[in-house]
Structure 1
Amino acid sequence: MILKAVELFGFKSFGEKTRIEFREGVTAIVGPNGCGKSNIVDAIKWVLGEQSTKTLRTSSMEEVIFNGTEDRKPLNVAEVTLILSNNEGHLPLDFDEIAIRRRVYRSGESEYAINNAPVRLRDVKELFFDTGIGKSAYSIMEQGKIDQILSSRPEDRRQIFEEAAGITRYRQREVEANQKLLRTEENMVHVESVLREVEKRYHALKAQAEKVERYRALSEEIFQIEIKQSLLKYRRIEKALVRHRERLRERQEERSRLKEQIHRLNDSVEDSLDTMGSLEHDLARYQREVYGLEVKRHSLSSQMTLLSEQISEIEGKISTDRVREQHLRDRLLRIESSIVEKEKEYERILEERRHIQSQIQEWEESIAVSERQIIAFEQEIADSEGMIGELEREREHLHGELANLTEEIVKELDEGLKRSNFSAKERVSLSHALRESLDHLLARIRHRREILQDFKRLGNPDPPFEEWLEEMARAVEQARDLYAAYLATEPSFLEAFTAPEGIITKKRAIDNLLEDVTKKIQSSRERIAELQTRIREVRTRNEQRRKSLEDLRLTSTRIATQAEALRETVNALLRDKEETLSLINQIQKEVDLSNRRLDTVKASLHALEREQKALLQEEASCREKIVQIERNIKEKNSAISSHENEIKQKMGELSRLQEDVERLQVEVARYEEEIKGLETYFEDQHGRSLREFLQMEVQENPGDLARVLAEKREERRRLGNVNFMAAEEFKDVKDRYEFLVSQLSDLNKAKENLTTVLQEIRRESRELFLATYEKIKVNFHQVFRRLFGGGRAELKLLDPSDPLESGIEIFAQPPGKKLEHIGLLSGGERSLTAVALLFAIYMVKPSPFCILDEIDAPLDENNIGRFVELLREFSERSQFIVITHNKKTITGADNLLGVTMEESGISKIVTIRLLGKEEPSYAEDIV
């Protein structure tokens, strides 16, 4: 993993959108003081989650936004994007490239995103846990931070060692577990208090609920008997259904076997057809051979005839040469005609090329118009951003007015309450009394509904309606009186607040203005987004036009090539004309050659006669093979016809089986419909599905079931009136009681689990920390000796018994001095000691990239050389980005980035790629 690039827009001095590319190895960032070099480091820390304005060298977070210059307007947003390569999967995201973005507006809104997906700051921090990357990890080392590490309390130095040990995630989990443990103990105290209150009601309602439970148990037994009666009928139908399904299965299997036999016969026919195909292929091959031999034989005859004719032709060739001379002269005329035609074609192509050149000019003008349109859109975007700034200032003013008006409302409300003798306590008391009265009335209504249902089940036709109605009327009268008293407590002066000219109306007017301003801001931002989209569209069209323009230029080049080719063709025709004249002169010379050819032709004629005899013998052999193959094809045709008759017979049997299958399927469907009807009736009667009870065994006969059912119904009738409300209330109290007991048990288990987790976290953290600490301790001594050319350095835990909370002390002994505390060293020695500690950590767990901000400033020439040598060595395993003014450090870098301010207040980046150690090559500006 490496840092590929940083994109900045509106961050501090980067008023324009800037992309800074980084490469592997050592990259040095150089430039004069005040040009914005350290702003790059601040941007990286900021996007990694830095919240301290002091660390960012500002007094407020708003100051990181570009504040404008004499010639440029301030911006309303600052944005930084960190682009990392994740090819090796160091970060727990399934992407080869990861972009972390942070954005802040002047209104105070802040956003984080990972690969354009909105995330929290916590997600960004957790992404880099134990990687060495972070706003306060050892991947970013500044001069001030080095002094802080060396001068801070030993307890504060732990963080850099914990990051190297990879226990930052464990420490975070430990903090979260401690918080959960504290909340769990608080919840246990609360649950125990509530449980004591619930337990009193639990015992009071238990006795009343037992009678209800007996009534419901009898109802359940009755329900079980009715289930058994339904199951007996269900299983009788089901047995008939199983018999018919078995018969259907047998017929289907028989049908499948018959289909398989038909399939095998069809396969046999196909195999015979394949064999016939092979035979027919051989037959065709031999027929082609015969045909070829016939063709050769006829060809030989033709050649023989031709040779005979050539003999006569040679004899008359002298007279023919005169004819050839005339032909050559005719050819000469045709060549001259072609020359005229090609010259006309050449003129046409030149005209076409002039037309294409005109089209090229039109495309170029169209692209220029689009570029001017983009500039106009960008100007409108800038105007909209300025308008947003004015609207935001107006919104802040309205917020101030709203705060003042709210304070006035509160003041007038207090005075009105005092004048009206309003008693909040009395109003709350009446509100509670009214709510309790209504709840009591609702409970009575539910109770009476349950009793009515019981009367209905028991067949009692005379419930005490009159007594109930009088009781309900008294309860309603009581609730009405309470409601009237509650209304009398409402302050009358509140009407003045809601009047059209009242203070509430003024507040609403300001709220409406705030809403309008907010909508205008949103509208402007939407317009900016729309313009940015149109800019992208215009640029896309321009790219397409440029491609078309390139095609036209290629076409123009191709036409020019064609014109050149035509000119070459005319030149070739002129040369052909000269060659024709030369041929006329050579005709006389060919007469002598004709006599010599005559003897050669006669010898060739005798050779062809011998070859013709051999071809006749080969043709006879092929015709015998053709006869044998045709006999085999006839035998295969007879076998195929026999199999086809057998297939026809099997198809008749298959049709009869299909009729039986369809009849049995109708019977099965009838029995299934009966079962479905029984299930529907059971569900309508009991509100449950009969299929829930299909696994139940029924041993009783139908008569016994009917007798027991009558007995259970009589026993339920003798129970008399049952207070079903008591059962429901007891159930609620019981559920709550058991829930609280369960909750208390769960909380105890959670407490034990959290304690175990904390112990495990601390054990693993301790082991990882001690192992890493010992490695860093050894490496620190070795690197210190290498940088100082001798001496020794030590790390010491102040409390070895508790390493996870112990401070870490640093001791150093440069050559020729005593072992001293780090605070007693000189500035250069302290910096070099800090560098030794940094590289000691990198030997244990290197960060993918490291940013060093002028940490080489206090070093002398000798120490700089050792520092650069070590930096080059460690650059093979990590990427280093060094902000420096030292020439030796710059010389040791692989890449250079220059930071300048050509325009006052605006930082600009220039990439410098080193081709050698003496001569740098300056690349193009990539801002």
Structure 2
Amino acid sequence: MKFDRLRLSGFKSFVDPVDLQILPGLTWVVGPNGCGKSNLLEALRWVMGETSFKSMRGAGMEDVIFSGTTGRPSRNNAEVSLLLDNQQKTAPPEFNDEESVEVTRRIERDAGSAYRINGRDVRAKDVQLLFADASTGARSPALVKQGQIGELINAKPEARRKILEEAAGISGLHTRRHDAELRLRGAESNLEKVDDSLEILHNNLRALKRQVRQATRYKNLSGQIKEVEALALHLRWQQALDAATEAENALAAAEASVASLTGDSASASTEQLTAQDALPPLREKEAECAAIYRRLTIEQDGLEKEAQRATETVNRLIAQIETIQEDTRREQDVLTDAENQLKQITEEKEILQEKNAGASGEAVRAAEKAAQEKCDSSEKRLAEAENELNTTIRKLAAHQARKNEITVALENNRKKHARIEEERTRLELERDTLLEEGVSETRRQELKISISALSEDYKKAVESVQGAHDHLVVCTEQAETRAEPSRQARAVLERLLGEQSALQAILSTSEEADMPGLIETLKVETGYEAALGAAFGDDLNAPSDSEAAAHWLALPPLSELPSLPEGATPLSGYVDGSDVLSRSLSLVGLVNRSMGAALQKSLSPGQRLVSVEGDLWRWDGYCATADAKTPAAQRLAQMNRLEAIMPEIATAEQNANTADEAAQTAKAKVREATDADNSCREQLKQIQIKLTEAREELSEMESGAEKQISRLAAIEEACQRMTSDIDELAGMIKAGEGDLQALEDGGDALTSEQSSHQELVGEARSVFAQDRAERESLVRERNERESRLKRLEQDADSWQSRLENSHQQIESLNARQTHTDQEKLEAENIPQKLAERSSALVEQINLAETNRKQAADTLAEAENRLAEADKRHRAAQSALSEVRETRAALAAKTTAAKERLEEIGQNIKDTLHCAPEDALAIANFDSEKKFPESEEIEAKLERYRRERESLGGVNLRAEEEAEEVETQINEIQTERDDLSKAINKLRYGIGQLNREGRERLLAAFETVNGHFAKLFTQLFGGGTAELKLTESDDPLEAGLEIIAHPPGKKPQVMSLLSGGEQALTAMSLIFAVFLTNPSPICVLDEVDAPLDDANVERFCNMLTNIADSSDTRFLIITHHALTMARVNRLFGVTMQERGVSQLISVDLATAEQFAETGRDLSTDQNKDEMKSVG
């Protein structure tokens, strides 16, 4: 098949449909970085069945769908189609009816990929096999992507073998072999499951046979239980019937008693009602008389309270009159005081007004003016004195500030001088100490000698560690070597023990737990189990106990036995363990299976022939082949195997113990070697610590010497600088002391001047204070007179208001007294009127009390009559209630008896499915006989039920299930035979595939190796190279190693070559595969990037030669100008619209013809030779 065209739509950056023509020869694809050239190779691999999204440079397979740009929306699907030329009919048979094959892959978001071949839906695997059979595919070495040359260089030899498989055309071999192996493993697994199922079904069948016997016993017991239950139910039903009849009779007698007592109760009730009707009028009359009596009594109490209130009112009014008289007297006193105060205020006002008027007022104002002028003059003199004092104080303050400044500076200089002096002394002391503590040269030499010795010890310790490690490795290898036989021997022992346990578990189950079969006592020689099983079958499972339902009886030997046919050996010579079979064994002959059919005709009645293989020929014509093995034969074989396996277990246990001892000895040596290795490593560690400590000490000493020299130089320089600072500070201190003495002399004069001015200020302040006090005294007197006049006017207004209020209050009190006197006169007349009314009420109260007592006595007599009637009525009701309760109890008892009778009858119907009268017939009991006691029947029923329950869970369908299991065993056995045939067929097919693959791979290796050497020499311009199979003797599992010998260099593996040499070597191998088994297409993505111009030239020559000599079509993606000059056609990938790739093609041969004729290619874009396809 030939590749013709690749069509992309919506794939990555190719959003618009694009066709890439894949024509014979060399086709180059160029374009700037990032424009989508590599997407063409990925589209080709994707349509050929690539399933890894990582190989597509995406985070998921849906990333191959165009994701959109700023100017174009994203797409929901992508599709790539590959058109193949099938004119030579080299495609698989199902596609050879057509001359072209179109493979299409389409992916939709959230829907996955779909494959089609010529419009028909197929699987991804079908597409992969289609291309694998054509020596290509998504993972073909002929599709070289960016970086794949490096992957081939760095690949392991085993990974490089795929290139040989491509050359041999067996790329699909691994897939088919893997599928066949999967099917083989599946079939083997199914075979194991079938064997397990058969074993389970055989076990189930044996269990079902036991269950059949249990089911029979269960049915018999169930029948007996049903008869006893029927008898018990009949007795219960008869007892319930008698109890119901007796309850009905008692209920009828109770009904008669209830009717009699009901009449007595009605008479008593009539008498009670009559007495009750007489009570209400009497009670009303008694209540009326009592109400009249209470009303009169309450009225009498009201009159007494009213008289008391009248007395209290008189007393209250007398007290009010006294209060009013007291208030009047107090108001008269207030009136007199107000008149006196008004008179005094008027007199004082006249005196003050006289002082403020006339000549006296003028004199006061003149005195105030003179005092003010005198005060102003003394204040002016005080201000002048204070100004002079402030000037002197400021001068003295400036003088003191200067003095303080000089004092502080002098003190600071003295402290600084002392500090520097102290620091110089300390440095001189440190210098003397450093000179005395100089680094010991002797100690330095000792450390150097110690380091040299420790270095030698360290080398020896390293050698000891290496030796101990080598010894440990040897011991470990020996331990691993001896551990494997131990594991194998232990596995053999565990397998035998497991087989022993399984056999014991199988043989421990007997057909009847308490009666083991005869087969358990027999001893059969090994190899004759099938013969004995064929002769007797399941009869051997019967016990020799006569109590069993089926058993063997020990009978004496027959006096006359018919002789066996000639060539038959008695089977009794190979069986021991029981005399019960002596008669039967004497009639069984052992023959070769080829003679059995011929000798069957000469058998006497009762005789039978068997073969060692298990064939059976009976005298009556019955035959059975060895394929129909019986469970008895299997059990006998298992018993013999259990006996034979005991010595094997002993031998295996001895071998395992011996191997374990050897393994433990080797492990002990490993532990000793490990301890020695750890000891050597610990010794090495200690030496290394001492060596490190010595080196560190020496380094510290040398570093300390350098620091000491540097420190001494720094100290000397600091001492010189401090001496200079001390001299400078001494001069500054001396100058400061002189300035301070001069300031102290000038300060005394300023102090005297300040004292003089302070005395003058004091005198001026005293005069000013005296003048100001005199002025303020005159002003204060004038202000006090004016303020007193104002207060007197206010007091006069206040007393006038009090005088008027007192007149009004007196008038009000006189009116109140007149009104109170009138109320007092009225209140004194009320007690006389109340006494008259009280005398009349006393007579009415006595009459009302007499009437109330007569009505109460009449009511009490009527209530006594009603109590007697109630007592008689309650007695009648109590008797009636007791009889009714008795009747209700009897009715309930009758109902319960009937329900019990119905319940037992329904129980009989549900249990026995018959009427209660027919239960006795089901019990098979003669009604003329005496019925047994209920306890005896229940005990018998309980015994039968315990016997049935002791059987446990019983499968009543055991017989039907046993038949179904036998049918399943036959069907599964047929399936097992089919599986065995299929497994053998698969194994043969896998072997054939492996043999064919090895032959084709070895043949391809020789051919590829020859082409590789030739192409290597061509690309390198000399040198040699070869391929080698390594890592395995099986070519299908071996690795491929490349040995290159470039011109002028030694032979070396591929990884040691330079980058350009590695690329040329890899290309030589890739194209050697083409020459061996040419692939229909080869895609090279920028493989010439690491090559210089000379190598590119040779590379292009090689491509031209291969393209001319094969049908391989080349698609090369490149940036190299020299490469583009050697191609047949050129495709350009552009991205004029950001994020959208377009494809443009140019046929260079036609373009050259246009150039020769002088035509401009840009004026004829409709020609097929130059067209835009994107």
TM-score, normalised to structure 2, is 0.34
Kindly name which structure, 1 or 2, has the bigger radius of gyration based on alpha carbons.
2
TM-score, normalised to structure 1, is 0.43
